[in-house]
Amino acid sequence: MKNWKHLTFEQRKVISSGISHGYKLKDIGENLLVDPTSVSKEVKRNRIEVSIGLKNSCKRTERWPYVCTGCKNRYNNCPYTKYKYDASKAQEKADTNLVNSRRGIDVDDEEFKQLDKIIKDGVGENKSIYQIKIENNDTIKKSVSTLYGYINKGYLTTKRIDLPYAVTYKKRKHNKKYEYSENKTIDRTGHTYLDYLAFIHKNPGIYVWQLDFLGAIKTDNKNILTFILPDLQFTLLNIISNPNSKKVVDFFDELEEKLGIDTFKELIPTILTDRDPYFSDINGI
């Protein structure tokens, strides 16, 4: 297991999600392949104060999880200083120590400042890293992949979220939280959203398919199953009459038969979906 000194923004999002879901320190460390002490130090070092009060008295903030998230008293008249761990704020705090974060960059201080400014100005004009590199080829002696590496590791002022098309979707507005009482007892060990975040972190660039049913009126006995690969803007649609979990499995069995087992495994390594009862047969899918 690695004992990483610098964590990425994606890792910090996994930590934040794990704390919100009440995961144990050991489990978060195992998901990230990071020593639990690194996760513990990260949270304690980069947590933020929500409100000021008595310090060094609350046992919850003196040991894991070091924050008030999940505490039943956090909204009451708690006299102690309240803390939370936010991935974005934690990333900002970590980025303030540029001396340590720039280890391994083989440029002097002036060259680094010039490179940092060129990238920041170019991204500010909505240019891609490739375009910035081509337009400043005489000045920037690093490859495009190296520049992306600098950004992903937090070496530059520009962050991944600042890149054009890095975030192309807005968060949906939900009027209510959907709860499926039909399949609450299903064992989802290894298939939670936190497991998904950890998996794509360990396997960057892997195909992620999205499985869902389009909304339909309650009196309609036909539903449209959508199977989408957003990276390639590819969509499969299948009309299913009186859908159930078996018919969803039948859809994948037919797809596997047409593609062949090896091609099926290669093209469909990951499926992201919700807890719809129709998707309850995890092993079958």
For residue 100, name the pLDDT band (cuts at 50, 70, 90): very low
Stretch among 118-132, 158-172, 246-260 having the lowest mean pLDDT = 158-172
Q: 175-179, 182-186, 193-197, 198-202: lowest mean pLDDT where?
A: 175-179
- Identify the band that residue 173 occupies on the pLDDT scale cut at 50, 70 and 90: low
Bridge partners of 155, per DSSP, are none
* Interatomic CA distance for residues 67 and 42, integer angstroms: 12
What token pair was written down for 186? 């299903």
Rounded Cα–Cα distance for residues 265 and 30 (Å): 25
- Number of separate domains in the chain: 3
Say whether pLDDT at 29 is over 50.
Answer: yes
285 in a structural domain:
no
Q: Is the pLDDT of residue 179 over 60?
A: no
Residue 14: its pLDDT value, please?
92
Q: Per-residue pLDDT for 147 more than 70? A: yes
Domain boundary among 96, 116, 138: 96
Considering the domain architecture, whether residues 22 and 92 belong to the same structural domain is answered as yes
More confident: 210 or 72: 210
Mean pLDDT over the full length of the chain: 82
Give the 3-state secondary structure of residue 267. helix
Q: Do 105 and 58 fall within a single domain?
A: no
pLDDT at 108: 65
Total-model pTM: 0.38
List, in order, residues 6 or more apart from 248 with CB less than 8 Å away. Answer: 225, 240, 278, 279, 281, 284, 285
**110 and 87 in a common domain:** no
pLDDT in tens, 102-113: 555 666 667 888
Residue range(s) defining the domain that contains residue 90: 9-96
Assess if residue 175 is contained within a domain.
no
In a domain, 197, yes or no: no
Rounded mean pLDDT, 3-16:
80
Query: Would the pLDDT of 157 be above 80?
Result: yes
Residue 172 lies in a domain: no
Q: Among 36, 33, 8, 1, which Cα is nearest to 202's?
A: 33
**pLDDT: is 218 or 79 the higher one?**
79
Question: Is residue 22 situated within a structural domain?
Answer: yes
Asked if residue 79 and residue 117 are part of one domain, the reply reads: no
Report, as an integer, the average pLDDT of 6-34: 89
The reported pLDDT for the residue numbered 217 is 57
In a domain, 263, yes or no: yes
158 and 116, same structural domain?
yes
**pLDDT for 83 beyond 50:** yes
**Least confident stretch, 10-24, 94-108, 218-232:** 94-108
Do the domain assignments include residue 178?
no
Last residue of a domain, one of 96, 120, 141: 96
Structure tokens at 221: 């006995």
Indicate if 214 and 235 belong to the same structural domain. Answer: yes
Give me 265's structure tokens: 């495994």
